[in-house]
Amino acid sequence: MIHQNILLLLLPSHHIAFGAQAKVSPFSPCQANHRLVAFFPHRLRSSLSRPIALASFDSEILQEGLNRVLPAGSVLPKKYSTSAKEITVREALNSALDEEMSADPKVFLMGEEVGEYQGAYKISKGLLEKYGPERVLDTPITEAGFAGIGVGAAYYGLRPIVEFMTFNFSMQAIDHIINSAAKSNYMSAGQISVPIVFRGPNGAAAGVGAQHSQCFGAWYAHVPGLKVLTPYSSEDARGLLKAAIRDPDPVVFLENELLYGESFPVSAEALDSSFCLPIGKAKIEREGKDVTITAFSKMVGYALQAADVLSTEGISAEVINLRSIRPLDRATINASVRKTNRLITVEEGFPQHGVGAEICMSVVEESFEYLDAPVERIAGADVPMPYAANLERMAVPQVDDIVRAAKRACYRAVPLAAAA
C-alpha cells in the first residue's frame, strides 16, 4: 500500500491508471491525474499509515480531494467503474471521425484549422496525416462560403462534415444551414437531399465573453429539415456523430467545449466501429420516481449531480439525457412525466423560446392531467454572457438551481428530515 503511494508520486502523471483496464490516451489532458499527483504530497504523511484502495474511488480521502480540487460543477461522474474502459469526449469524436472517414471515401472534413493545426480543439487530431489534404480541408475564414460549398458537395452525394470553430460563427453561415441545407429536400420535392453534418462546440465555455458563449440549440431546433443532436458523454459523442455522418439529412451536431476533456466509461460495444445511436431517442441516465429532469449536453452532468443531492434529501429524480433536440423524444419525456408527475427542464441557453419551452408545451399537450406541479424551466440568464467569472457563474444554471427547482416542484421548499 505504502509503496503504491510512492510509486504514484514517482510516475509521470499521465501514466496513472484508474483501475486495471482504464486507458489513458495521449489525447486526454489528464486533468484529474495531474490534480491527484498534486494532491498526494499534502496527504502523504497521514496516508502512509492508511492503506488506500486505488482500484475504486470509494476511498474517502481521494473523494474528498477530488471534491476540493475540481471546479464547481464538474461533470465527472462520482463513481468510476473499474472494468469499463474510459475515453474522453475528444477521443470519442476523433475516433468516430476517423472510423467514418475510413469506411466511406465520400466523407470529408472541412473547416478552419482542422488540418495542420490538428483541430482548434484537437478533435481532428491526426486526420490530416491519415487522409491527406484532399479529405481534411483547411478553409479560409469564410463560414458562409465553405458552409455553402459543403451543401453543394452534398447535393452530389458527398458527405461533408463542416466544422465551425464554435457555433457562434455559424451565424455567418446560417443562411446555408437553413436555406440551402435544411430546405433543399423539401423545395426540390425529394430530388436532392443534403447528407451534411455541421458540427462544433456550442454554448458557454469559461470566460469567453458574450459573442462566444451562446447556445444555438433552440435556434436550429426550430427549423424543419434539420436534425439537431446534443451529445453528453463519450458514448453519446461517438454514437451520435457516427449516426449523423451516415444520416442522409442535414444534421447540426452541438458539442460542448468543456466536455471535450471529460472522461466517461464506454462499453466494448460502443467502441465497435459499427456502433451508432439512433437519432431522436433520449436516454434515461438515472431512473427515479419523484421528478423528471430533462437536460442536454453539459447540463446532463449538472442534472446528475443535482439528482445525487436530491436523493440525500429523499427526492428521487429521473434524469433524461435528451441526446437529440430535433427530433425531440417526446415519447420518453412524456412517459417519464406520467410516471413522476413533475418536470424540470434544464438548458444552458436563453430562456425565451428555448428548448425547455418546447418540452413544457409537449408535456402540456400530451400529459396535462398527469402533472401535479407547474413545469419548472431552468435556463441561462436572459442576458448576453458577461465576462467576470462570478457573473458568468450566475448567468449559467448551477446544480443548486436545479436542486431548488426540484424541491419547488415537489412542494418541498424546506428539506424533510426523513423521507415520508
Partner 1 sequence: MVLGRVFEDMCAQMYYRGKMFGFVHLYNGQEAVSTGFIKLLEARDSVVSTYCDHVHAVSKGVPPRAVMAELFGKATGCCRGQGGSMHMFSAQHNLLGGFTFIGEGIPVATGAAFSSKYCHEVLKESTPNRLDVTVAFFGDGTCNNGQFFECLNMAQLELWKLPIVFVVENNLWAIGMPHLRATSDPEIWKKGPAFGMPGVHVDGMDVLKVREVAIEAIARARRGEGPTLVECETYRFRGHSLADPDELRKPDEKASYAARDPITALRKYILDKELASAAELKIIEKKVDAVIEDTVEFADSSPLPPWSQLLENIFADPKGFGIGPDGKYRCEDPKFIEGTSLSLESCLPANHLHRCLIPSESSIRPNSIKVRHG
Site for partner 1 in 308-367 (CB under 8 A): 327
* Nearest one of 271, 298, 275 to 25, comparing CA atoms: 271
Report d(CA 199, CA 267) in Å as an integer.
Answer: 24
Site for partner 1 in 153-182 (CB under 8 A): 153-158, 175-176, 179-180
| Candidates 130-138, 354-362, 363-371, 393-401; binding stretch for partner 1 (CB under 8 A) | 130-138
| Candidates 80-88, 122-130, 138-146, 381-389; binding stretch for partner 1 (CB under 8 A) | 138-146
Minimum distance of partner 1 from residue 253's CB (angstroms): 13
| Residue 17 CA neighbour count, 13 Å, CB half | 9
Report residue 199: phi and psi, to 5°: -130, 165
| Candidates 38-46, 278-286, 310-318, 397-405; binding stretch for partner 1 (CB under 8 A) | 278-286
**Among 46, 49, 274, 390, which residue interacts with partner 1 (rule: CB under 8 A)?**
274
Check if 42 is active-site.
no
**Residue 199: strand pairing partners:** 163, 253
| Residue 64 CA neighbour count, 13 Å, CB half | 6
Neighbour count for residue 351 (Cβ, 10 Å): 16
Q: By C-beta, is 145 or 314 nearer to partner 1?
A: 145
Check binding of 384 to partner 1 (CB under 8 A): no
Q: What is the DSSP string of 134-146?
A: TTEEE--S-HHHH
Site for partner 1 in 65-104 (CB under 8 A): 103-104
Instruction: Please tell me the count of residues contacting partner 1 according to CB under 8 A.
Output: 62
Q: By C-beta, is 195 or 349 nearer to partner 1?
A: 195
Q: By C-beta, is 147 or 205 nearer to partner 1?
A: 147
Report d(CA 304, CA 293) in Å as an integer.
Answer: 9
Residue with cell 475516433: 95
Check binding of 406 to partner 1 (CB under 8 A): no
Check binding of 247 to partner 1 (CB under 8 A): yes
Minimum distance of partner 1 from residue 81's CB (angstroms): 19
* Nearest one of 36, 33, 35, 27 to 15, comparing CA atoms: 33
Buried b vs exposed e over 287-315: b needs ≥16 C-beta within 10 Å?
ebebbbbbbbbbbbbbbbbbbbbbeeeeb
**Among 278, 374, 384, 415, which residue interacts with partner 1 (rule: CB under 8 A)?**
278
Q: By C-beta, is 240 or 395 nearer to partner 1?
A: 240
Check if 143 is active-site.
yes
Q: By C-beta, is 199 or 407 nearer to partner 1?
A: 199
Site for partner 1 in 207-236 (CB under 8 A): 224-225, 227
Neighbour count for residue 43 (Cβ, 10 Å): 16
Q: By C-beta, is 20 or 189 nearer to partner 1?
A: 189
* Helices (runs of H) and strands (runs of E) counted in the chain: 16, 14
Check binding of 248 to partner 1 (CB under 8 A): yes
Minimum distance of partner 1 from residue 271's CB (angstroms): 10
Residue with cell 436563453: 350
* Candidate list 91, 99, 163, 212, residue with the active-site label: 212
Q: By C-beta, is 165 or 346 nearer to partner 1?
A: 165
* Candidate list 86, 99, 143, 348, residue with the active-site label: 143
**Among 280, 301, 380, 397, which residue interacts with partner 1 (rule: CB under 8 A)?**
280
Q: By C-beta, is 25 or 179 nearer to partner 1?
A: 179
| Candidates 24-32, 47-55, 129-137, 329-337; binding stretch for partner 1 (CB under 8 A) | 129-137
Report d(CA 300, CA 298) in Å as an integer.
Answer: 5
Taking the CA atoms of residue 163, residue 165, residue 166 and residue 168 in that order, the dihedral angle to the nearest 10 degrees is -100
SS (H, E, C) 85-105: EEEEHHHHHHHHHHHHHHHCC
Question: Is residue 267 within 8 Å of residue 214, measured between CB atoms?
Answer: no
Minimum distance of partner 1 from residue 211's CB (angstroms): 18
Residue with cell 436523493: 311
Check binding of 145 to partner 1 (CB under 8 A): yes
Check binding of 198 to partner 1 (CB under 8 A): no
* Nearest one of 46, 55, 129, 126 to 94, comparing CA atoms: 126
Active site residues: 143, 212
* Chain contacts with partner 1 (rule: CB under 8 A): 103-106, 108, 133-135, 137, 139-140, 142, 144-158, 175-176, 179-180, 184-195, 224-225, 227, 243, 246-249, 269-270, 272, 274-280, 327
